[in-house]
Structure 1
Amino acid sequence: MSTMRISQLAMRSGVPATTLRFYESAGLLPAERTPAGYRLYGEDAVDRLAFISAAKHLGLPLEEIAELLGVWQTGACQEVKADLRERVVARIEEAERRAVELAAFTASLHRAVEHLDELPDREDRCDPQCAFLGRTPAAPPAPSAHPEGAGRRSVPLA
């Protein structure tokens, strides 16, 4: 079996040597060592890096990639597929939850912009009487304990 040093693997795979060292320290990419301490990789390292890259593109954290690599190394393709499917479904659920949160945040930002556009341009400095520091379309003002009824409130982000 032919071997290659880290610089050769980096060139063949397109993965920087610093990342290869990190993957080794994280247990994702085993390397042999020469008597002088140089890392040596087999041809299978290129396939392993392609697998790691594909898993990263699916949003899998390195800990899960390490677990999946164990299945990939020892299991049949159907086992890898079943394990990966479960992880991808979990990523879909997480992405959908985050999309809902992001949509709500985006709507809040749109309301804030609409509110800002409706406010008159004042020549004075913004102060507690400034409409921007008061009520926003997203939330009516809370009752104020301040004598003038002008407590500071911020624009809610979500």
Structure 2
Amino acid sequence: MQAVHTAATAPAPRFALRSSELPIGVVAEQLGLTLRAIRHYEEMGLIACGRGPKNVRTLGQSARARLAAIADLKALGLPISEIADLLGPDGACPDRLKARLRAQLEALDARRSAIAGYLSGL
């Protein structure tokens, strides 16, 4: 006679995701990143991924927050090598990062003024 498992008696899965962890695919979709980019950031040591069922990479809340900061800084035009140098280990914005963003903003303002001047001459 076969044992029948009901929801109440079914064995727990061997690898259960903690409620705060999400699979890499879900995180990639939420942040608009590719799986390859996330794996690259992990290889660079910028984020730490856990492992879930079938060895799928998972990201906890702090890794997702750090990854979101990385994605934001990339969208602002900073190269990943510079982000790696500027981003603190806890994902906070250190003074060097603030100074770099201020410098980038000044450069963009100067470029905007130059474009506006050129347009006015057309």
- Coarse TM-score class (shorter-chain normalised): 0.5 to 0.7
- Tell me the distance in 1 between the aligned counterparts of 2:37 and 2:82: 16
Would the alpha carbon gap of residues 57 and 10 (structure 1) be closer, same or farther in structure 2, given more than 3 Å must change? closer
Partner of 1:120: none
TM-score, structure 1 normalization: 0.48
Asked if the contact 1:10–1:16 (Cα under 8 Å) also holds between the matched residues in 2, the reply is yes
**Structure 2 residue corresponding to 1:6, chosen from 24, 30, 43:** 24
Within 5 Å, give how 1:1-158 maps onto structure 2: 2=18, 3-10=21-28, 14-16=30-32, 18=34, 20-26=35-41, 27=44, 28-33=46-51, 36-56=54-74, 58-69=76-87, 71-73=88-90, 80-108=93-121, 110=122
1:102: Cα distance to partner? 0.8
Structure 1 stretches of 4+ moved >6 Å: none
SS at match of 2:31: coil
TM-score, structure 2 normalization: 0.59
Partner of 1:122: none
The structure with higher relative contact order (CA 8 Å, sep 6+) is: 2
Would the alpha carbon gap of residues 98 and 17 (structure 1) be closer, same or farther in structure 2, given more than 3 Å must change? closer
Instruction: Return 5+ residue gaps in structure 2 as ranges.
Output: 1-16
SS at match of 1:73: coil
Amino acid at match of 2:32: P
Amino acid at match of 2:57: R
- Tell me the distance in 2 between the aligned counterparts of 1:68 and 1:62: 10
- Tell me the distance in 2 between the aligned counterparts of 1:48 and 1:86: 19
Cα RMSD, aligned residues only: 3.1
Asked if the contact 2:28–2:38 (Cα under 8 Å) also holds between the matched residues in 1, the reply is no
1:35: Cα distance to partner? 8.6
Instruction: Return 5+ residue gaps in structure 1 as ranges.
Output: 111-158
1:72: Cα distance to partner? 4.0
Amino acid at match of 1:98: R
Would the alpha carbon gap of residues 88 and 39 (structure 1) be closer, same or farther in structure 2, given more than 3 Å must change? same
1:33: Cα distance to partner? 4.8
Q: Rg: which structure is higher?
A: 1
